[in-house]
Amino acid sequence: MQIFVVDAFTSQPFGGNPAGVCFLDGERPDAWMLAVAAEMKHAETAFLLSYADGSYGLRWWTPEAEVPLCGHATLASAHALWETGYLDRASPARFHTLSGELQATRAADGRITLDFPVAIAEPVAEPLGLFDGLGIASRPLLGTPFFTLVELPEAAAVRDVQPDAATLRDVETDAVIVTATSDDPRFDVVCRVFGPRIGIPEDAATGAAMCVLAPFWEARFGQELRVVQLSARGGELHVLRAGERVFITGSAVTVVRGELVP
């Protein structure tokens, strides 16, 4: 079985968000996929199973759990399929996932666009311990079944968040998005994403978070959104909302190609 490490939402090796991508040779047990993801130690490892119609089954695992949606590992998967020639570069990549059918398309310049569902965040009460875990004062919160969203007054405040991963691990939310308007004219907003509860202390570049951020910021910035994720590795994402879909565009670079023996 071929296995790759692909840096997503970056055009430079060792930037953006690294994802494992495994081309399966057949159905595999959940425990086996979890063990591979734990071995890879990336935020997510994607597992692809080819179907007769040219589409692929796609599942995503952190080192500790399966997740219902993952942007960077989907982008990485599409990149790997086109780069290896399993898919013609002019053909869309079609994936069957826990979040329904998703597609990815490749532009002539190599940039990849994901077609994902919108996720509208609604007001929620504070999950116990959230603000202590983030080290910030209490603020209004929004939430989806997977994410909790908090807006801070400025980009510097997002940069300065110093989360306590041990505390956040006990908070009843899978992942937290912290966001603010950007102080860099190249971008509209900044964000960071923390998910200790699912085995991701801080995510480097989070495509799935754009499903939440696009509708959240639409009233202020319109349908198009330029986002920079202020993680140590950084990530740049271009987002377009169109009705109930979010189109997320970024680049990817393969940094490892190998063979999975077990």
Note the pLDDT tens digit of each residue in 136-161: 999 999 999 999 999 999 999 999 99
Query: For the residues 4-22, what does the mean pLDDT come to?
Result: 96
Which amino acid is residue 91, in one-letter code? S
What fold, for 122-243?
Answer: Diaminopimelate Epimerase; Chain A, domain 1 (3.10.310)
- Cα 205 to its chain centre, rounded Å, is 6
How far apart are alpha carbons 78 and 113 in whole angstroms?
A: 10
3-state secondary structure of 200: strand
Query: pLDDT digits over 107-124, tens only?
Result: 999 999 999 999 999 999
Band of residue 81 on the pLDDT scale cut at 50, 70, 90: very high
Catalytic residue among 27, 39, 44, 218: 44
Rounded CA gap, 221 and 229, in Å? Answer: 17
Class of domain 2-111+250-259: alpha beta
172 included as an active-site residue: no
Question: Do residues 229 and 237 lie in contact, with contact meaning Cβ atoms separated by under 8 Å?
Answer: yes
Q: Where are the domains of the chain?
A: 2-111+250-259, 122-243
Nearest residue to 97 (alpha-carbon basis) of 54, 46, 133, 27: 46
